[in-house]
Each structure stands twice: as structure tokens, then as C-alpha cells.
Amino acid sequence: MASTILNDGFEPQEDLAFWRMRRLSFRVLILGRANAGKTSILERIAGESMEAAQVYRNGVLLSPNHIRGEIERGEHNINEEIRFRSCPGFVFHDSRGLEAGDSNDLKTLYEFVQGRSTGGKVQTQLHMI
């Protein structure tokens, strides 16, 4: 039996242009335990290091020195938006490393996912974990 491929009438480049013209963002949460390699996965996807990323907190671009300090300490704020020039239209969120039994981390994660999955604009919703 032959498999069928979904054809929505758009070529991949046209699809990307559709997102860009409408300034849409596809939000991805990178989730895992501490030292699991979340940042490394993100860098592989983007083909760039975190030093090249543009990180926004509450719509304000953070300085490279601030970002470098967070990376060195292994700290991440799940609400920060991470954008790469190589991945236009994608917004990444990096969870703090989840530790077994840390109820504060789980509460923060739950609130983030709840807040990004209900209501609001599609552009600010979480699309993939």
C-alpha cells in the first residue's frame, strides 16, 4: 500500500514565507533534567551557540554579558524567549534543569505550560514540548 503525503498546496519555502509575512512564531519548550544537554540540543537545532542567540525578557533584549553569565552558571529562566537568526520564526524556551522532588521547579513549569496553552494569541502560545 502506498503512503500518502499530506499536501497543503504550499512548498516548504512558501510555508516559511507565510509565517514570516504574518510575523508568526512557533514556540518550543526544551525540557529535561539538569545537565541533560538541553542547551546543546538547542545549539544543534540552531547551528549556532547560545552566545549568538538573542534572548528577550518581557520583550526587552538582554545584553550578551547577562546571557553569558546565565550560561556559565547553568541558569535559565523559562519565560525568556530565545531566538536565533538561523531559525527565524522560532522562539525557544529553555526550562531550568528539573530536579526530583523540587516542587518550586514543577510549579514554575506547570504555570508556564498552563499560561502558554490556554487562551491568548496563537503567537504567544506554546506549540511544542
For every residue of 14-68, DSSP letters joined together read HHHHHHHHTT--EEEEE--BTTSSHHHHHHHHHTS-GGG-EEEETTEEPPHHHHH
Q: Is 27 helix (H, G, I), strand (E, B) or coil?
A: strand
Per residue in 33-68, pLDDT (tens digit) is 878 888 889 899 899 988 888 999 999 998 877 766
pLDDT the model gives residue 6: 46
> Residue 72: is its pLDDT beyond 70?
no
Owner of C-alpha cell 508568526: 24
pTM of this structure? 0.76
> Residue 81: is its pLDDT beyond 80?
yes
Q: Measured at the alpha carbon of residue 30, what is the angle toward residues 24 and 32, in degrees to the nearest 5?
A: 165
